Structure 1
């Protein structure tokens, strides 16, 4: 790929309704990274077709495969430590403050981890704050200069891209510490039981993996592949490709380019917390592979949920915090009283290169329309002398101010857009980068605002035109209609229900104190016992357990396991469906056709010398074919998920498949390197022998016991053995000894990370035990319950 620059006339911009800027030219085609942050890729170019080989294909399974079994009620009776990772501006942080406050109402302890500058903003809301580093003002300034995913040559020369990568590394490390370190203000211990994050925080899935806790992503712009519209950061060109395919693949393009720029930074950091590196081909699609639950915080009245999003992706409505108590200054109060409602103009956290030029444009447009205006200074300090018709103000809550204006003009941040529509205010958006063009387009499509004006092309004339449209009855009515629909929504409450509904509560619950999350596994018992930090400390204090018999809870990817089970069952369910379907078809045709008139059909079912019918063999062949489809999906998913589930888990999963059809499978106890080596050798010899012979033995056995149908079943079992027992044998030769070695020895890095988690959880358990004010009888109940779980036969 080579980089070039090009320009386009303003008239071209109006016709194409896109923003022209600097361009990424791909040999044989073109890919434009526009100045609003969108990527223009020609899917018809040879280079694009080559690049698509590195992007996981969009398949039906990615859209419709069911999530794991979660809580169906949307209620959660476990009190969790929840850390929320947010990277971005104040407008990005504010919705999560509303979310955190709602989570607190359900008994959860909530820590909001974001940039240091938002410390007081978060703590004043009653949430625990943890600083992750990174300067949002510097980040906003960089994004204005480099709104695409690729930096300008000027930024490269100035070293800005190096500083941005250093900032990302700082944020990754800060997010990890926020999961396990004490409260910086009070010193109270905290270890995350669940993580909520916005996608740009990047650390989320990796922190969840090392801790073994659930992850839930929430965002203000589409980040999940859909065929209904493209990724907001992608503008794809195509001719012979269906629009639905182009839309769906655009999400992979954005993920792939993002990983190209930051994958090495993320992988270097992963190694410091004891995780393996993720490949270029798998890194961009981790969230899709793991089917991480998403909640989108925008109003379905503005953008409905796409039909091809599965049930673990929700659109819940905008997140609004409780309106703050605000008393306006005498100057602001007097301005609002002394004339008709003004137009609000503000660009929030956007850092602009030339504030005086922007100020001049704003004032000229306001005077051309003949309206009054309130102009917010924002982070760029857009300011001049106030006059009778124009008032410059500092920070003022939008929730209060927007109730007193006639229309709003802003950069198109999701929070500001939501607040304007909440109060039925027509909206003109001047997008700078990111999702801002997306929201500008959505508002314009609804009729509640003018067409967005990219900041690069903002003039007094086109801004005046946009303001005039916002003051028309058409725009006012459209904005009012959206506001009425939004009244019935409760975005924050719905998001909390979505979060609860997607928690694997049965896997998270302490077996001794059911309202507490499990953090430890006690394995010196008839079966593993899952214990909370508090229950564990009580048992330690009373010498009921030894800490050396405790292991931190970890969970493999839940949805990956669910898919493995689903695809495995397809190898058996689909053949039987095929058999039953043909039986129903035969019964129907028998009821509607005269057999005397269909001699060929009768002959096809005539018994042969062995007493079996030809139709039986047709059914058997169809069943085998249906099983092969399920087998193909099974094997595809094995290799798709192998980078996130260790070979040991894959080996065990493959080896356990025969249990589905009633065969006994021996369990191997791997305790150390010696037992691991023995298990590996034994599994190899047995797996290779049975895997290569089952296709004959099972087929013969099935045919002998149940004729043609039994033969089909036996053939399926034998085929399955080749695909499960043989790979399990080969993998196990390495996986079992490796598992044993890992239990005997840990690398310095992994030991350090594990020790961090162990120390943090024990410390929090001690802290909780000191805080407990319950009577001693509760302690007795804890120990009694534990004893019953440890020795169930004594009940």
Structure 2
């Protein structure tokens, strides 16, 4: 049994994350708390955190559930096709030769500490010739523009978000939050961000109107739109983040407060990631699916697939922290890299005379600041800070931050508005802050002992990591902050041994170049060969031309040139997907597969069927309300003219108009009912049966033939026939294969076991192959019909692509060697050259 509750307000009831212990080994270690964990940092111990209300979720896993999960995991070892790294350390990422110049949109949601690392990343990407657009909140426009990057506002107010997170840090909303309407406002903000992220992929520059269509997406996970935008555009997506977001046994999710009763707490760590993802999807899944359907015109994502979509699709992931703090966990695959912290180039800064005078007037001060945090009770917090400074007798620079924290003037305290941390942290003795990843990284890079006062999110996690290295004291949760605790923390930071540890970590961090490594990671995971134009080397392909089985990939300039030469027409071109994403339901066996598909179909039919009767009434109420409010009857369309009828028109005409609209609403619902029932009966249920039977051999370790994604009726026919031939062949040969393997391993007992497996394979593989002859083509036909009926987003993408070359690249197109281009085009369409080209692909 798994339960979730708000972070507790009583320290005694709060269960800390598993502590880390100093060791030179990577083995599991036994703690006094009977907790076993894999060591993420072999340098020092992290005691239990005494945190309250820090935004994490209590996850209680009962002993029976724990045993069942452990038994399942022990019976199903990792798939050898997805082998993990042999060591926990990330391999060095060498420079990657990538010569395509791409339009890259970087989508970031969060505070300044979240945005600033991506500003540094964007600047590095520009050095490689890419056009970089950073899409984030409007408040960061000046920060982005100053770095020479394009800016696009996606909406959302990070100040309001920070205020909300301080007041209600948990993933599970409180009753107070529900009564205040905070959840509705937050969902509205997420919807605005989703739409903003989609617009950032293909709308012109908001300042200069320069056309832009993304060739690749980089995003942090809280932007939520990334994978879905990439699927709609058919382009690569790469996630980057400052906190762990990929499941691992090494440590729990930073947002989960685990209480695991099993014998192997590493399994509890693993569960915590899936639980947080599931909880997040429960709150936003309906919002994301509605946006996918209405804006992107994509199928909704099943509830079983939504929570762990990035891991299922193995989306490339780069973590921007130093392995000096957290080495790469052992089970993270090759598509995940730990590259080091992202630091921007030093910015020119001339301190105001008062600041320069303060720094020179005494010993180095300590820095205290909470960045983007909006404090609940600023006066009380400030009093604690001032009392602690008075008791320790140290000088301090206090950052006002977003809450404009400032007290009375004092010769030992300087209040600062905004100052680059890169400059300031070189001139202080220690830093005290909220534990944002960027601020933490900057402090450690400059060798400064660090005290973290976490508020929510990943901040307690970074406090634990700093403590683990010995570069700072035990973190002090904001709601547990007292003068005495802060005095002890400042005293600890000013000890020579703490400063020595901080300097050692600084030396390690300064040997890394996280931004450069991240760009190399990004390039390494791009499908370089699939992205390049066949006609103009070095240009990314965005169109394809098909002639029979022959395919030519074209850049926008190549297509523009051939169109201008009359060699092809725009209607003959198809949008080319450099990285197609297919999101399918994962089936485990036929009973639950068919049951879930049937229930989904019945629920959809019931909803649409109820609409046949309910929607006309809703339409009638809407029409009545509109007429009463405006004094104008509902518009009627006659040909191409819209007639607005005055209010004094006869009631008979109004009644007739209302009846037509009500009948139309009922007809639309009836059409939805027929469509939903047809899709369920002819596509979803047969497909569930096919995939369910096909999955059974996995239960006894058999490998399956991987099907290509079904995108249209052609690919559906191909997958159906391919699945039939493989299924029938494997079904009959498995009888002999499994019997022989069983005899070889276990003698006569193995013969019986192998024969049983063979007979099961014969039944399920041939059954799946036979039903698949109908299921996969039907799925392809459905997707072809859907694409033909919903061309809004596709047309929007196509128009934006043509606008790019018409308004932006005409000069480059004029420099193209037209004769060579046309000759290459003719060669690729020839039978001999085309066959060679297809073989190379």
Render the CA deviation track for 1:320-340: whole Å, top value 9, x for unaligned: 001110011111111001000
Distance in 2 between the 1:384 and 1:519 partners? 58
Within the candidate set 276, 281, 293, 2:304 is matched to 281
Within the candidate set 248, 260, 266, 1:238 is matched to 260
Matched, 1:530 2:553: yes
Preserved CA contact (<8 Å) 2:52 2:477: no
Name the residue aligned to 1:479. Answer: 502
Matched, 1:407 2:430: yes
Tell me the TM-score normalized by structure 2.
0.73
Name the residue aligned to 1:446. Answer: 469
Name the residue aligned to 1:601. Answer: none
Distance in 1 between the 2:386 and 2:228 partners? 48
Preserved CA contact (<8 Å) 1:537 1:769: no
Report the alpha carbon displacement of residue 379 of structure 1 after superposing the two structures with TM.
0.3
Q: 1:757 to 1:555 in 2, by over 3 A?
A: same
Name the residue aligned to 1:418. Answer: 441
Name the residue aligned to 2:421. Answer: 398
Counterpart mapping for 1:579-590 below 5 A: none
Q: 1:773 to 1:484 in 2, by over 3 A?
A: same
Render the CA deviation track for 1:224-283: whole Å, top value 9, x for unaligned: 111111111112112224122111121101100110111111111110211111121110
Q: 1:451 to 1:757 in 2, by over 3 A?
A: same
Report the alpha carbon displacement of residue 403 of structure 1 after superposing the two structures with TM.
0.6
Counterpart mapping for 1:332-481 below 5 A: 332-481=355-504
Matched, 1:129 2:157: no
Distance in 1 between the 2:490 and 2:123 partners? 36
Preserved CA contact (<8 Å) 1:72 1:501: no
Render the CA deviation track for 1:329-360: whole Å, top value 9, x for unaligned: 11111100100000000000001111111111
**What are structure 2's unaligned runs of at least 5 residues?**
20-49, 86-92, 588-695, 745-750, 835-841
Preserved CA contact (<8 Å) 1:132 1:178: yes
Within the candidate set 209, 215, 222, 1:187 is matched to 209
Name the residue aligned to 2:62. Answer: 44
Q: 1:345 to 1:225 in 2, by over 3 A?
A: same
Name the residue aligned to 2:768. Answer: 727
Preserved CA contact (<8 Å) 2:107 2:136: yes
Q: 1:376 to 1:205 in 2, by over 3 A?
A: same
Matched, 1:766 2:806: yes
Within the candidate set 793, 796, 817, 1:756 is matched to 796
Matched, 1:549 2:572: yes
Render the CA deviation track for 1:15-66: whole Å, top value 9, x for unaligned: 9999xxxxxxxxxxxxx996212122111167899999999x9962399448
Distance in 1 between the 2:3 and 2:15 partners? 27
The SS at the match of 1:395 is coil
Within the candidate set 652, 658, 670, 2:718 is matched to 652
Counterpart mapping for 1:3-22 below 5 A: 9-10=10-11
Report the alpha carbon displacement of residue 514 of structure 1 after superposing the two structures with TM.
2.1
Report the alpha carbon displacement of residue 746 of structure 1 after superposing the two structures with TM.
4.0
Matched, 1:164 2:186: yes
Report the alpha carbon displacement of residue 524 of structure 1 after superposing the two structures with TM.
2.1
Distance in 1 between the 2:810 and 2:342 partners? 36
**What are structure 1's unaligned runs of at least 5 residues?**
19-31, 565-626, 658-686
Matched, 1:99 2:121: yes
Name the residue aligned to 1:583. Answer: none
Distance in 2 between the 1:466 and 1:360 partners? 16
Preserved CA contact (<8 Å) 2:541 2:578: no
Q: 1:5 to 1:276 in 2, by over 3 A?
A: closer
Distance in 2 between the 1:714 and 1:47 partners? 34
Distance in 2 between the 1:88 and 1:173 partners? 16
Within the candidate set 800, 822, 827, 1:788 is matched to 827
Matched, 1:219 2:241: yes
Q: 1:211 to 1:740 in 2, by over 3 A?
A: same
Preserved CA contact (<8 Å) 2:452 2:463: yes
Name the residue aligned to 2:539. Answer: 516
Report the alpha carbon displacement of residue 3 of structure 1 after superposing the two structures with TM.
8.5
Within the candidate set 96, 115, 138, 1:116 is matched to 138
Preserved CA contact (<8 Å) 2:231 2:581: no
The SS at the match of 1:415 is helix
Distance in 2 between the 1:223 and 1:7 partners? 23
Render the CA deviation track for 1:372-396: whole Å, top value 9, x for unaligned: 0000000011111221001111011
Within the candidate set 486, 498, 508, 2:521 is matched to 498
Distance in 1 between the 2:10 and 2:735 partners? 72
Q: 1:34 to 1:520 in 2, by over 3 A?
A: farther
Q: 1:193 to 1:445 in 2, by over 3 A?
A: same
Counterpart mapping for 1:15-30 below 5 A: none
Q: 1:114 to 1:51 in 2, by over 3 A?
A: farther
Distance in 1 between the 2:372 and 2:818 partners? 52
Name the residue aligned to 1:174. Answer: 196
Preserved CA contact (<8 Å) 2:5 2:172: no
Matched, 1:488 2:527: no
Name the residue aligned to 1:540. Answer: 563
Report the alpha carbon displacement of residue 464 of structure 1 after superposing the two structures with TM.
1.0
Name the residue aligned to 2:169. Answer: 147
Q: 1:238 to 1:6 in 2, by over 3 A?
A: closer
Distance in 1 between the 2:216 and 2:520 partners? 15
Preserved CA contact (<8 Å) 1:694 1:718: no
Aligned length in residues: 674
Distance in 1 between the 2:486 and 2:783 partners? 64
Report the alpha carbon displacement of residue 771 of structure 1 after superposing the two structures with TM.
2.8
Tell me the TM-score normalized by structure 1.
0.77
Preserved CA contact (<8 Å) 1:122 1:128: yes
Preserved CA contact (<8 Å) 1:520 1:553: yes
Preserved CA contact (<8 Å) 1:651 1:731: no
Q: 1:741 to 1:291 in 2, by over 3 A?
A: closer
Q: 1:723 to 1:102 in 2, by over 3 A?
A: farther
Preserved CA contact (<8 Å) 2:527 2:578: no
Distance in 1 between the 2:374 and 2:711 partners? 43
Report the alpha carbon displacement of residue 790 of structure 1 after superposing the two structures with TM.
1.3
Distance in 1 between the 2:446 and 2:355 partners? 19
Distance in 1 between the 2:51 and 2:183 partners? 16
Distance in 2 between the 1:177 and 1:649 partners? 30
Q: 1:354 to 1:699 in 2, by over 3 A?
A: closer
The SS at the match of 1:60 is coil
The SS at the match of 2:401 is coil
Preserved CA contact (<8 Å) 2:3 2:60: no
Name the residue aligned to 2:316. Answer: 293
Distance in 1 between the 2:52 and 2:783 partners? 48
Distance in 2 between the 1:6 and 1:214 partners? 37
Bigger drift between 6-15 and 729-738 goes to 6-15
The SS at the match of 1:379 is helix
Q: 1:553 to 1:12 in 2, by over 3 A?
A: same
Report the alpha carbon displacement of residue 634 of structure 1 after superposing the two structures with TM.
4.5
Distance in 2 between the 1:60 and 1:698 partners? 23
The SS at the match of 2:454 is coil
The SS at the match of 2:374 is coil
